[in-house]
Amino acid sequence: MRLRPKTALLILAYGAPLVLVAWGLGKSATPEGSARVLRLGHGLNRDHPVHKGMEFMAADVLRRSGGRLHIEIYPDEQLGPERDLIELLQMGSLALTKVSTAPLESFSPLIKVFSLPYLFRDRDHFWQVLDGPIGEELLAASEPYRLSGICYYDAGARSFYVSRKRNRVVHSPADLEGLSIRVQRSRTAVRLVELLGAKPVPIPFGELYTALDTGTVDGAENNPPSLYTTRQYEVTASYTLNEHTFIPDILIVSADTWGRLSAEEQGWLRESAHASSRYQRKLWEESVRQSLEIIEGSGVTVTRDVDKEAFRRRTAAMYEDPDYTSPAIRDLVRRIRDTGLPTAAAAQEGGS
């Protein structure tokens, strides 16, 4: 059964205890005795490497807890799209969800730093930042909003693709001009596409295949495994690996749920989540390789010879937008850019 978010909100209003047991945090009888059950909803399908990472977490926490802590996973937007799942977490009606950082921006302002184009030098730099103190700081940034980040999952680099109806190959920003591009419901995602001369169209991810097929939008942007596992490559003509952003997926827990867990249960969940993050990164690398092979083999033109510097120049103005000029964001950008640089180079870049 798929519980639509508005239905969940109505039930919450008139019967909150029922929702907390049904969809958030509950108890169940097992051979070992009473077990805590955590419900996790997300929007990806079962073939996606991030879903497989969360399946690893569920199995690992069951092992660590000796069967006393269960995680039930509801994929494919069974419980609603990402923004609605975040709201359900805030109200304590759902225990866990996996979200991209874009819909989390509205709830946790510092998170929007991930949407800045070409912030990270490469994948190694990206994980060096996320595995360090800055990553921990950003996981904790949602706590004032009744959410708490537990770990990151690799969602790779986002790049542009164009539908078969439009059939255009993108080598530079000029090739995107005039196209309607699906974006996440994020001000920064909208702004990035506008700077590239295209028209941003916010559409739920689950509706994108049909939108590409019917010509509602001319294209979209995402990573290779998402393009493959959703079968959107079937209605795609070209895929350009311009890699404008590295945006992680974040596993978040409801503050209500976290507060109800014992210190031992919190430890099991945190350790299993971190183990699943390491496991999922390996899956991701292989998935990217396999996805690109299948996408290219299906007849999609995959463009690797991209003028990334042109994309970087066209989108550099985002760093001066009001959303990114606060002292907190400027300092965060500086520290991210300095991560991994030699001391002298870091000092020089930080002052430029």
All structural domains of the chain, each given as residue ranges with its CATH number in brackets, are 5-106+126-154+249-289 (3.40.190.170)
pTM of the predicted protein model = 0.84
- Looking at residue 346, its pLDDT comes to 47
- Partner residues linked to 30 by β-bridges: 33
- For residues 251 and 152, what is the distance between their CA atoms, to the nearest angstrom? 6
- Looking at residue 102, its pLDDT comes to 77
Each residue's pLDDT expressed in tens, for the chain with a length of 352 residues:
344 444 343 333 323 333 333 446 666 544 445 789 999 999 999 999 999 999 999 999 999 999 999 999 999 999 998 989 999 999 999 999 999 887 888 888 899 999 999 999 999 999 999 999 999 999 999 999 999 999 999 999 999 999 999 999 999 999 999 999 999 888 889 999 999 999 999 998 889 999 999 999 999 999 999 999 999 999 999 999 999 999 999 999 999 999 999 999 999 999 999 999 999 999 999 999 999 999 999 999 999 999 999 999 999 999 999 989 999 999 999 999 999 998 644 444 544 4
**SS3 (DSSP) at 164:** coil
- Looking at residue 24, its pLDDT comes to 65
In 32-106 the beta strands, taken as DSSP E runs, fall at 33-41, 69-74, 96-100
- Looking at residue 12, its pLDDT comes to 36
- Looking at residue 28, its pLDDT comes to 59
- For residues 287 and 268, what is the distance between their CA atoms, to the nearest angstrom? 28
- Looking at residue 317, its pLDDT comes to 97
97 Cβ neighbours under 8 A, 6+ residues apart = 40, 41, 42, 82, 85, 86, 88, 89, 251, 252
- For residues 19 and 299, what is the distance between their CA atoms, to the nearest angstrom? 47
